[in-house]
Amino acid sequence: MRAHEAGWAHAPGALRGPAWLRQPEDINALVPILWSETAAKRDGVLSIGGVSLPELVAEHGSAAYVLDEVDFRARAAAFRDAFSDFDVYYAGKSFLCTTVAGWIAEEGLRLDVCSDGELTVALRAGLDPALLGYHGNNKSRAELVRAVELGVGRIVVDSFHEIERLAEITASLGVTARVMVRVTAGVEAHTHEFIATAHEDQKFGFSITAGDALEAARRVLAEPGLRLEGLHSHIGSQIFDTSGFEVAARRVLALHAQIAAELGHTMPEMDLGGGFGIAYTTQDDPSTPALLAEGMRAVIASECERLGIDSPRLSIEPGRAIVGPSMCTVYTVGTVKEVALDGGARRTYVSVDGGMSDNIRTALYDADYSATVASRASEAPAVLARVVGKHCEAGDIVVKDEFLPGDIAPGDLLAVPGTGAYCRSMASNYNHALRPPVIAVRDGVARVIVRRETVDDLLATDVGAALEGATR
């Protein structure tokens, strides 16, 4: 049971949130670990990158994603420097647009894509295909053909069908493709824990324990058009220490050594995936890239020594840990409602001009977030509130529990930190919502890097015609 599940209390009149949630001493203050580097509050007004959010909203509207460029680049650079002897691939699925792909390349990182759409953005940004990794458990033939023709640096294969497909494609084009084999190491990481288990009942990867991974390597090696670069393992997300990587690395390195011994092929590389955790609330205590690097290096070195092999060149694929904390979402409060609960307690529902269409993670993963008023200071006593969206779904919750000023009212701006990863990239048009813009802020300048959708964007794909003779 997670801590917050145990913490609900419905004592009369006293609504308490999850056990970990503490009422802040100063409701107007920012909790630094949750915010990007340049976030600051003055008289209750939140600014990021030197841009005041009330002014940003006055110009660009809300809801809006606000991306702190300095913070994003600093996090990318921190991974680059801490893992200087690794290749660092930014996981584009966490958030990708042309501008951000450019920042990634400028900071010396490589990029992972997992669809033709993501690949197209990378190319549009001018990235070198040789520095891209291509993921996915069901890449189409067209996607594979394009990747091979472009000379994408590594294609991570995830099924026997895909190995066959890729072999046909390379044979018909008369070229070779560099391939990694995605394996399941029997390690599942989730939030603060990892579970090392033989349980591998999920769609990704070839099982090491069942022998499928070895067989996949054998089949790749048998294809003249495929070059087996290495094994790939990604154990999950929101991982806070290296213990899960340790178990996975041990198993993957053992297979790496077995392939060398039994199949006579020493693979030059190995990828340990992403999944490094960030702080969404005060209960999260993320590690630093430097500590993660140190832990991973130590495990690899000792395992390689034990196996009597040279270490392959390693790579990692952080997504969330780079973009997650760099972005926040700013909303305008539309309505406030007090709802009576069983036992006499009341919960304050604060509705904002967005919701599950711009942040599905609360509904999808039961994710926790925090929020702060971005437009003014308040002296009112704190109330435990729930921030909800405007969609036709009771589960349309943005922040399950947060202390907000008791005088929160329509027109106030609310900012939710840590929304950089898997929010805009998973955003939808549910209820025909227009997806919010992404606005990069830096040195007092706000720059739209993904514009807000318009009704014309929505109607562009709706090719139906109006009723004959309809009046409008």
Ligand X SMILES: *Cc1c(COP(=O)(O)O)cnc(C)c1O
Closer of 326 and 351 to ligand X (Cβ):
326
Do the Cβ atoms of 137 and 184 come closer than 8 Å? Answer: no
For residue 421, the one-letter residue type is A
Q: Which stretch binds ligand X (CB under 6 A): 211-219, 312-320, 346-354, 441-449?
A: 312-320
* Cα–Cα dist 279/464, whole Å: 45
Helices and strands: H and E segment counts in the chain = 13, 26
3 state SS of 219: helix
Do the Cβ atoms of 248 and 187 come closer than 8 Å? Answer: yes
CB of 158 to ligand X, least distance (A): 10
CB of 236 to ligand X, least distance (A): 8
CB of 317 to ligand X, least distance (A): 4
* Cα–Cα dist 208/200, whole Å: 10
Note whether 273 binds ligand X by CB under 6 A.
yes
Structure tokens belonging to residue 150: 């472009």
Closer of 18 and 319 to ligand X (Cβ):
319
Options 97, 304, 392, 423, the catalytic residue: 392
Here's the x/- map for ligand X, 314-353, by CB under 6 A: it reads as ---xxxxx--------------------------------
Note whether 135 binds ligand X by CB under 6 A.
yes
Closer of 44 and 274 to ligand X (Cβ):
274
Binding test (CB under 6 A) with ligand X, winner from 421, 439, 440, 446: 421
Note whether 91 binds ligand X by CB under 6 A.
yes
* Cα–Cα dist 220/226, whole Å: 6
Q: Is 393 part of any known ligand binding site?
A: yes
Note whether 86 binds ligand X by CB under 6 A.
no
* Cα–Cα dist 171/169, whole Å: 5
Closer of 269 and 317 to ligand X (Cβ):
317
Q: Which stretch binds ligand X (CB under 6 A): 210-218, 259-267, 271-279, 333-341?
A: 271-279
C-alpha dist (Å) from residue 219 to 32, 166, 169, 216, 452: 50, 11, 15, 5, 47
Q: Is 182 part of any known ligand binding site?
A: no
Q: Which stretch binds ligand X (CB under 6 A): 90-98, 160-168, 337-345, 452-460?
A: 90-98
Closer of 237 and 372 to ligand X (Cβ):
237
143: enclosing H helix or E strand: helix 141-150
Q: Which of 336, 325, 423, 327 is nearest to 387 (CA)?
A: 336
Here's the x/- map for ligand X, 168-187, by CB under 6 A: it reads as --------------------
The strand order across the sheet containing 187-190 reads 193-196, 187-190, 236-237
Do the Cβ atoms of 270 and 315 come closer than 8 Å? Answer: yes
For residue 413, the one-letter residue type is L
Q: Is 320 part of any known ligand binding site?
A: yes
Per-position DSSP letters for 380-406, written without gaps between them? SPEEEEEEE-SSS-TT-EEEEEEEEET
Note whether 93 binds ligand X by CB under 6 A.
yes
Query: Which residues lie closer than 8 Å to 394 by C-beta, 6 or more apart?
Result: none
Closer of 21 and 252 to ligand X (Cβ):
252
CB of 278 to ligand X, least distance (A): 9
CB of 91 to ligand X, least distance (A): 3
Q: Is 317 part of any known ligand binding site?
A: yes
Do the Cβ atoms of 428 and 357 come closer than 8 Å? Answer: yes
Binding test (CB under 6 A) with ligand X, winner from 18, 129, 244, 275: 275
Closer of 15 and 91 to ligand X (Cβ):
91
Q: Is 286 part of any known ligand binding site?
A: no
Closer of 235 and 385 to ligand X (Cβ):
235
Cis peptide leading into 63, omega within 30 of 0? yes
Structure tokens belonging to residue 190: 């989730």
Residue 392 is among the residues annotated as catalytic for this protein: yes
CB of 372 to ligand X, least distance (A): 24
Token match 């329509």: residue? 410
Note whether 94 binds ligand X by CB under 6 A.
yes
Write the DSSP symbol of residue 91. Answer: E
* Cα–Cα dist 72/52, whole Å: 18
Note whether 17 binds ligand X by CB under 6 A.
no
Per DSSP, what are the bridge partners of residue 195?
188
Q: Is 118 part of any known ligand binding site?
A: no
Region 192-251 residues binding ligand X, contact defined as CB under 6 A: 234, 237
Q: Is 331 part of any known ligand binding site?
A: no
CA–CA–CA angle 419, 361, 59 (5° rounding) = 40
Q: Is 365 part of any known ligand binding site?
A: yes
CB of 334 to ligand X, least distance (A): 31
Q: Which of 56, 23, 42 is nearest to 442 (CA)?
A: 56
**Catalytic annotation, residues:** 392
Instruction: Catalog residues that contact ligand X under the rule CB under 6 A.
Output: 91, 93-94, 135, 234, 237, 273-276, 317-321, 421
Q: Binding site for substrate: what residues are annotated?
A: 320, 361, 365, 393, 422
Q: Binding site for pyridoxal 5'-phosphate: what residues are annotated?
A: 275, 317-320, 422
Q: Binding site: what residues are annotated?
A: 275, 317-320, 361, 365, 393, 422
